[in-house]
Amino acid sequence: MGQVVFRWLNRSIFFIFMCVVSIIVGLNIFYSRGYHSLELKTPTLFNGITLIGALNVIAVVLIYRNKIISFINKIPKPYFIVTLLLVSVLLQFTSVRLLSVNLTWDFGTIVSSAKLLLENNELSNYFVMYPNNILLACILAVVGKFSTPDLFSFQVFNIMIITLSQYLIYRITSKVAGYAIGIVSLFMGVFLFPYIFYAPIVYTDTVSLIFLLLPLNMLIDKNGNLDSRLSIILIASVLFSFGMILKGSLIIFIIALSIVLFLFLQRWKKLYFILPFIVLLLVKTGFNYYIYENEIVDKKQVDRYSFPVTHWLVMAQNGERYGKFATEDFHWTHDLLEKNSREEVKQIHLNELKKRITEKGWIGNLHYNIQKLAHTWTDGTYYSLNKLKRQPVEPENFNRLVDFKSGDLLQGFVRIQHFILLAGLLFIVKLKKRNEMITFAMLSVIGFFLFFLIWETRSRYLVSLTPLLIIVSCIGYFGINKKESSIE
């Protein structure tokens, strides 16, 4: 009886995943929001031409995938891996050299605050409103202590994070699907647009990658299965917890891990499913104790003026912004907190949230959520170009990148790459057996899809999910081939 229930749960997860991915791929057929992130209009024939290009590439991959795998297996493994990683580092440093920006928005505040934290052991009032960014400031302060607390040092650290993440994508894919598929995933990771163009931007989007991939690499043993040792699960849960403190949406990975433990562990070990939540509570409590006891921020001020969760829920229903960051909602919440208690502000938010949803009506809400999903899931730039256009150090470099024919070619490459990445998820239907890693990835995609329906959203928030998209997409296209596999 128990096995029947667990099989049903696994099938339900797969069915929901396929529905979600079908919606996402369907949206990417009709929408492309890369130009929108630069406040430009998408050219008339752009979507159709790039869709045909993407479908042609997919057809070539499917037709020649066996020959591609055979070719990869003939090349000396260490040379292939090292060469691709060196190419990645070169591309990232080129991006930093040509496209660095002056310190603006939250990114600038955090970089500047890391230096302040080193000098005075305190942070500005920005972190009273947004305590979720304290961990990143602390991480950068540690980096600055061992080097110099300037932007370039932090950018080098960012490149190290991205490059290590690319290697871990290869490692995990190799363990699950074989060496050749691992190399394909590394190739895709090296040339993935946000991994190149977010190198100059030191923020949670890229730093969070390591808090997914390090614990995931620990949890997947050399045979591609879940390592059920208690010590591994606890250490992985600690890393996932720090990831959630760094970026709140990463709670999805903790929930996914908990469900995987419940579904795949045997007998009494299924009780391990509660461990990720216990560890999260302990890590979060310990981290808060540390920052408050060391007076890095004032606890009373945080309790009084930090933005409540309801702020992001109500902003997610801003009819004019389709759930994107809304300056007017920021000022509204800020003013409310100056005049009311946080509990009163929460209630005001909930009333406004109900009003915004009700005013749209059924048809209005359907249209609203389609548009919200479109700008979240159909922007292959992951909003990176928008961030790079904000006060670039050398504006002429950025202008050359996005202007006229070069800009159209760049957007074309991005859309084709993004569509190929997402379409590969559909081919997972061919797998006869979906193990713990695949189930974890499916649950994470479902979680991100649902979470950003109700939360304030941007396409860049999906950067944290891209490693799983790469791994599952590559397995979708090439299947599992461990015959000549060895992991370097």
In the chain, domain spans: 2-478
The Cα–Cα gap between 99 and 392 comes to 7
Give the relative orientation of helices 395-402 and 77-99 as an angle to the nearest 10 degrees: 120
Residue 487: the pLDDT is 43
Residue type, 122: E
The Cα–Cα gap between 18 and 23 comes to 9
Q: How crowded is residue 46: how many other Cβ atoms within 10 Å of its Cβ?
A: 17
pTM of the model: 0.96
Structure-block tokens of residue 106 = 């939250």
The Cα–Cα gap between 394 and 386 comes to 15
According to DSSP, residue 269 is labeled: G
CB-side exposure of 106: number of CA atoms within 13 Å?
Answer: 14
Residue 485: the pLDDT is 47
Q: How crowded is residue 292: how many other Cβ atoms within 10 Å of its Cβ?
A: 14
**303 contact partners, CB below 8 Å, separation of at least 6:** 342
**412 contact partners, CB below 8 Å, separation of at least 6:** 46, 49, 50, 53
Residue 488: the pLDDT is 45
Residue pair 431/478 in contact by the 8 Å Cβ criterion: no
According to DSSP, residue 392 is labeled: B
* Size of the chain, expressed as the number of residues it contains: 488
Q: What is the pLDDT along the chain (488 residues), one digit of tens a residue?
A: 567 888 899 899 999 999 999 999 999 999 999 999 898 899 989 999 999 999 999 999 999 999 999 999 888 888 889 999 999 999 999 999 999 999 988 999 999 999 989 988 888 889 999 998 999 999 999 999 999 999 999 999 999 999 999 999 999 999 999 999 999 999 999 999 999 999 999 999 999 999 999 999 999 999 999 999 999 999 999 999 999 999 999 999 999 999 999 999 988 999 999 999 999 999 999 999 999 999 899 999 999 999 999 999 999 999 889 999 999 999 999 999 999 999 999 999 999 999 999 999 999 999 999 999 999 999 999 999 999 999 999 999 999 999 878 889 999 999 999 999 999 999 999 887 888 999 999 999 999 999 999 999 999 999 999 999 999 999 999 998 776 544 44
The Cα–Cα gap between 314 and 190 comes to 37
Give the relative orientation of helices 466-478 and 46-74 as an angle to the nearest 10 degrees: 70
The Cα–Cα gap between 279 and 267 comes to 22
Structure-block tokens of residue 412 = 């074309």
Residue 77: the pLDDT is 80
The Cα–Cα gap between 472 and 445 comes to 10
Residue 5: the pLDDT is 85
Residue 1: the pLDDT is 54
**266 contact partners, CB below 8 Å, separation of at least 6:** none
Residue 483: the pLDDT is 64
Residues pairing with 220 in the sheet? 226
